[in-house]
Amino acid sequence: MNNYKILGKVEYKRTKEFDVKVNGIQIVENENKVEIYNDPFRVIPLFIIKDKSDKLIIFSDYEDFYNLKDVDKTIDKAGFWEIILFGNGVFSRTLYKNVRQMPSASKIIIDKNTNKYKIERYWDFNIEVDDSIDSMEKAAQGMYDRIDSIFAKLDKNTKYIMGMSGGMDSRISLAFLSKYIPKENLKLFTYGFDEKILEYKYACEVAKTLGYDEPEFHKLTARSYRRAMDYLPKMSGGQVGINHCHILDYLQGKNLNNFKQISNYISDAIFGLNTKKEKNNDLNNLNVILDKYKNNFSNKIYKYILSDIELLIENFQSKFNYTNVNEYIYWTEKTPKVFNYFSKLHSEYINQELIYADYDLLVYSLSIPPKYREQKKVLDYLLDNYFKNIPSSGFKNISSRFLCGSEFSGLLDFYSFKILNRINATLRLFTKGYIQLFNKYQTEEQDRLLYRDFHKDLKNATSKFVDVGIMSKEQKKQWDKLPLKNGGISERFVIISLSKSAF
C-alpha cells in the first residue's frame, strides 16, 4: 500500500534509474523508500503535504489543494514574506506551513517504514568553464547548433502560437521557427497597454521581415488584472501575483485546442542576462532585500528566511562558471520557480512547448566563458551573423537589457524613458494615476493602475492580514503608502494576490 497519493492529472514515469535529461516527474521505488524526482527546469511543479491521518499527498495544481478537507491550511509567515519580497517561496517553503514544494533539480525521499519525507537537491548546477571555447565565434556556433537541433524537432504540421515581444529572445526564436514552421502554422500575439507602444511596433517589423503575419495585439487594462484576482491567486497558491496575468488574460476565451504554445521562458538565463564581466561573489541580492525589509517581521521569521536563503545557495561555489551569486540564484530559483511556473499555469489553457528547457543546452550555456555570454552578447552575435535580415544592430528592440544602460537602448531612448518615468511618477502622486504622459517604452502601466484602480484593494488586503496577526498596524501603514518610483509596485500587487489566496 502506498504511503503517498498523487492528486490530479500529474504525469509521471516510473523508472529503475533517474535520467536527468528527461523533463518531467520520475519515480524510483524500492522496498524501503520512494524517490520522486523533477528535472533541473522544474517543468512540473510538485507540492507535498500530510493530511490529518498522516498520509502524504502530492499535487501540482493548487486547486486540488484547496479542495482538500482534512489538511491544515495555516499560513506560514516566513513563506508569506518570502513571496512578497522575492516573488516566490525560497527553496521548499510555500505560503502554507504544512505545504512544501520541490525546488529545481530535487527529489522527495519518502521512507516507507516511518512515512517521513525530506526534500533535497540531487544536482548543484555547478559547471566548469570550457576553456576550448576561446572565441565568440566558437561560443555562438555551439549555441546555434544546439538551439537549431531543438527547433528542427518541432512538427511542421502542428499549429503553434507564440508571444512576440519587441525584445531579442522572441526575435531569435521566431528566426529559428522561420526555418521549420510555415507561415500558416504559426500565430503570434503581443500584449501591452496600447497598440502604439514600441514593443508592438518592433514585434510587427520583425514578424514581417521573417515572413509571418503581424502579431495579434492584446490590450491589457485594469479589467485584465481585476479578472485575474478571481483565478490567479488560488490557481498558483499565492505564488504568482495578478500583475503577471498578461498571457493568461490573452489565453482565456480563446479557442486554441489545436495549438501548442512556444514558451520562451528560460531564454534569458540561457543567453546570460545576469552574467557580468567580472566575478563578484560577495553580493547576494536576496540578503540585500531581506535586510532592507528586516523590520517587517520578527527576529524568528528573519532567521527562518535567512536559513532558507542559506539552504538555497549552500551548493554555490565561486570556482565554477557563475560571475555572481545572483546569477546562480537566477538559474536555480528564479527561472524554475517563477518563469517556468508561468508556463505551467498557461498549460491549463493550451499545451506547452518549453523550447529552451533542454539539459544539454543548459550545460553548454553554463560552460561558455562569461566574457562571451555577459549581458547576452552571444545572442547579439547570433542575430548579427546567422540571421542577418534581423540583426541586433539593425533592428531596434525593447529588451530585458533596456534599463542596463544606453549601450543597450540608445542614448536618446534611454534618457527619454527615464525622464518620462520621472514626470509620470510626479503626476501619479498628484492625480492618483488619472493623468499620465504616454510612454511608448513601457509594455504595462502597473504603477498607474495601482494608484488609480487597486489602492483600495491593497488597503483591504493589508487590513485582512492585520486582523489575522500576519501584519502589524505599522506594517500596514508602510505597505499602504504607494511608492513614488516603480520599485515596490510588484510587491503590493503580490499582497493583493496573497489576500485572495489566504482567505
pLDDT in tens, 103-162: 999 999 999 999 999 999 999 999 999 999 999 999 999 999 999 999 999 999 999 999
- Which of the two residues, 340 and 294, has the higher pLDDT score? 340
Q: What percent of the chain has pLDDT over 90?
A: 80
Cell of 80: 508569506
Please state the rounded mean pLDDT for residues 208-229. 97
Backbone CA torsion sign across 6, 12, 15, 19: negative
* Burial zone of 223 (CB within 10 Å; 0-12 exposed, 13-18 middle, 19+ buried): exposed
Give the integer Cα–Cα distance in Å for 65 and 48: 10
At residue 386, φ and ψ (nearest 5 deg) are -110, -20
Packed helices 136-152 and 359-367: angle between N→C axes, nearest 10 degrees? 170
Strand pairing report for 159-163 and 186-192: parallel
Instruction: Write down the H helix ranges in 432-472.
Output: 446-452, 455-467
Question: What residues contact residue 279 under an 8 Å CB cut-off, 6+ apart?
Answer: 318, 322, 323, 324, 370
User: Does residue 360 sit in helix, strand or coil?
Assistant: helix
Cell of 501: 489566496
Structure confidence at residue 401 (pLDDT)? 52
pLDDT at 351 over 80: yes
> Would you put residue 472 in left (φ > 0), alpha (ψ -120 to 50) or beta?
beta
Q: What is the enclosing helix (H) or strand (E) of 303? A: helix 299-312
238-257 pLDDT tens trace: 999 999 999 999 999 788 88
180, 140, 441, 160: CA torsion to nearest 10: 20
Give the integer Cα–Cα distance in Å for 130 and 369: 7
63-82 pLDDT tens trace: 999 999 999 999 999 999 99
Structure confidence at residue 404 (pLDDT)? 53
pLDDT at 283 over 70: no
326-350 pLDDT tens trace: 899 999 999 999 999 999 999 999 9
Please state the rounded mean pLDDT for residues 470-485. 93
Structure confidence at residue 337 (pLDDT)? 96
- What order do you get walking across the sheet with 159-163 strand by strand? 216-219, 186-192, 159-163, 259-263, 351-354
pLDDT at 286 over 80: no
How far is CA 90 from each of CA 39, 85, 94, 291, 334, rounded to the nearest angstrom?
Answer: 18, 10, 8, 15, 9
Nearest to 38 by CA among 27, 54, 49: 27
- pTM over the 0.95 mark: no
Q: Angle at the Cα of 23 (from 138 to 337), degrees rounded to 5?
A: 90
Res. 406 pLDDT band, cuts 50 70 90: very low
15-54 pLDDT tens trace: 999 999 999 999 999 999 999 999 999 999 999 999 999 9
Give the integer Cα–Cα distance in Å for 325 and 288: 12
Res. 10 pLDDT band, cuts 50 70 90: very high
Give the integer Cα–Cα distance in Å for 352 and 409: 31
Please state the rounded mean pLDDT for residues 285-291. 75
Cell of 31: 522496498
Question: What residues contact residue 148 under an 8 Å CB cut-off, 6+ apart?
Answer: 176, 179
Give the integer Cα–Cα distance in Å for 341 and 239: 9
Res. 421 pLDDT band, cuts 50 70 90: confident
